[in-house]
Structure 1
Amino acid sequence: MTEKHTHGQSLANVHSSVDTNKATGWKRLLAFIGPAYLVSVGYMDPGNWATDIAGGSAFGYKLIWVLFASNLIALLLQSLAARLGIVRGLDLAQASKHNYPRFVNFWLYILAQLAIIACDLAEIIGMAIGLKLLFNLPLIWGVSLTITDTVLMLWLMNKGMRKLEGFIVSMIFIIGLSFLIEMFIVKPDVVEIAKGFIPGNLFSGDKIHQQMLYIAIGIIGATVMPHNLYLHSSLVQTRKINRTDEGIRTSIKFNLIDTTVALNLAFFVNAAILILAAGAFFRNGYFQVAEIQDAYKLLEHIFGATAPTLFAIALIASGQSSTITGTLAGQIIMEGHINLRIEPWLRRLLTRFLAIVPAVFTILHYGDSGLGNLIILSQVVLSLQLGFAVIPLIHFTSDKKRMGRFAISTKVKVVAWASAILIVSLNAKLVYDQIGDWLTGNKAADIYIYIFVVPIVIFIALLLVYVFVRPLIFKYKETPVYVPHGLAEVLDEMDAITYHHIGVTIDFSKNDRDSIRHALMQGGKKARYTLIHIVETAGARYHGTDVMDNETQSDVDNLDKYVDEVKALGYHAVSQIGFGLPAKAITAIVKKDEIDFLVMGSHGHKVIKDLIYGSTVDKVRHNVNIPVLIVKQRKR
Structure 2
Amino acid sequence: MQKKKYSTGWRNENNTPSLSEVFSSVYVPKKKGIWRKFFAFTGPGLLIAVGYMDPGNWATDIAGGSKFGYMLLSVIFISNFFAIILQHLALKLGIVCERDLAQACRDHYPKFINFILWILCEIAISACDLAEIIGSVLALKLLFGIPITWGVLITVIDVFIILFFQYKGFRYIESVVAALIFTILICFSFEIISSKPEIFSILKGIIPNIEIIKNSHSFYISIGILGATVMPHNLYLHSSIIQTRDYPRTFEGKKMAIKYATIDSTLSLSLAFFINAAILIISASTFHKTGHTDVKDIMDAHKLLTPILGKLSGVFFALALLASGQNSTLTGTLAGQIVMEGFISLKFKPWIRRLITRLIAIVPAMIAAIVYGEKGTSELLIISQIILSIQLSFAIIPLVCFTGDYKKMGPFVNGPIIKISAWFITIIIIVLNLFLIYDILL
TM-score normalised by structure 2 residue count: 0.96
Find the residue that maps to 1:360 and give its secondary structure.
Answer: helix
Q: Aligned residue for 2:323?
A: 317
Distance apart, 1:5 and its partner CA: 4.4
Given candidates 24, 41, 44, the residue that maps to 1:16 is: 24
Distance apart, 1:248 and its partner CA: 1.2
Task: Output aligned runs, 1:487-498, within 5 Å.
Answer: none
Contact kept in structure 1, 2:66 and 2:284, CA below 8 Å: yes
Q: Does 1:51 align with 2:51?
A: no
Distance 1:225 1:281 in 2: 27
Q: Aligned residue for 2:439?
A: 433
Q: Does 1:218 align with 2:224?
A: yes
Given candidates 32, 40, 45, the residue that maps to 2:41 is: 32
Amino acid at match of 1:29: F
Distance 2:435 2:193 in 1: 39
Distance 1:36 1:125 in 2: 24
Q: Aligned residue for 2:205?
A: 196
Given candidates 96, 103, 121, the residue that maps to 1:94 is: 103
Q: Does 1:175 align with 2:200?
A: no
Find the residue that maps to 1:43 and give its secondary structure.
Answer: coil
Larger deviation, residues 237-246 vs 2-11: 2-11
Q: Aligned residue for 1:149?
A: 158
- 1:574-612: CA deviation from partner (whole Å, max 9, x where unpaired): xxxxxxxxxxxxxxxxxxxxxxxxxxxxxxxxxxxxxxx
Q: Aligned residue for 2:413?
A: 407
Give me the identity figure in percent: 51
Distance 1:273 1:155 in 2: 31
Amino acid at match of 1:282: H
Given candidates 353, 368, 374, the residue that maps to 1:368 is: 374
Contact kept in structure 2, 1:121 and 1:359, CA below 8 Å: yes
Distance 2:213 2:320 in 1: 34
Distance 1:368 1:52 in 2: 18
Given candidates 391, 395, 418, the residue that maps to 2:397 is: 391
Given candidates 225, 229, 235, the residue that maps to 2:235 is: 229
Q: Which has the larger radius of gyration?
A: 1
- 1:21-60: CA deviation from partner (whole Å, max 9, x where unpaired): 4351110111111111111111111001111111111111
Distance 1:43 1:252 in 2: 21
Distance 1:112 1:286 in 2: 37
Contact kept in structure 1, 2:22 and 2:169, CA below 8 Å: no
Distance 1:233 1:366 in 2: 39
Find the residue that maps to 1:13 and give its secondary structure.
Answer: coil
Q: Does 1:107 align with 2:113?
A: no
Q: Which runs of 5+ in 1 are unaligned?
A: 437-636
Distance apart, 1:252 and its partner CA: 0.7
Given candidates 259, 273, 276, the residue that maps to 1:270 is: 276
Find the residue that maps to 1:348 and give its secondary structure.
Answer: helix
Given candidates 251, 257, 266, the residue that maps to 1:251 is: 257
Q: Aligned residue for 1:442?
A: none
Contact kept in structure 1, 2:299 and 2:374, CA below 8 Å: no
Distance apart, 1:203 and its partner CA: 3.2
Find the residue that maps to 2:292 and give its secondary structure.
Answer: coil
Q: Aligned residue for 1:348?
A: 354
Q: Aligned residue for 2:71?
A: 62
Distance 1:30 1:214 in 2: 40
Distance 2:146 2:28 in 1: 46
Contact kept in structure 2, 1:291 and 1:371, CA below 8 Å: no
Could you say if the C-alpha distance between residues 23 and 116 of structure 1 is closer, same or farther in structure 2, counting changes exceeding 3 Å? farther
Task: Output aligned runs, 1:419-498, within 5 Å.
Answer: 419-436=425-442
Distance 1:187 1:408 in 2: 43
- 1:241-270: CA deviation from partner (whole Å, max 9, x where unpaired): 222222111111111100111000010000
Find the residue that maps to 1:220 and give its secondary structure.
Answer: helix
Find the residue that maps to 1:99 and give its secondary structure.
Answer: coil
Distance 1:80 1:21 in 2: 24
Distance apart, 1:434 and its partner CA: 1.0
Distance apart, 1:360 and its partner CA: 1.2
* Structure with greater strand percent: 1
**Superposition CA RMSD, Å:** 1.3
Contact kept in structure 1, 2:19 and 2:338, CA below 8 Å: yes
Distance apart, 1:19 and its partner CA: 2.5
Q: Does 1:287 align with 2:293?
A: yes
Aligned residues: 432
Q: Aligned residue for 1:81?
A: 90
- 1:156-184: CA deviation from partner (whole Å, max 9, x where unpaired): 11111121111111000000000001111
Distance 1:349 1:289 in 2: 34
Distance 1:374 1:247 in 2: 45
- Larger RCO (CA within 8 A; separation ≥ 6): 2
Contact kept in structure 2, 1:36 and 1:258, CA below 8 Å: yes
Distance 2:31 2:232 in 1: 33
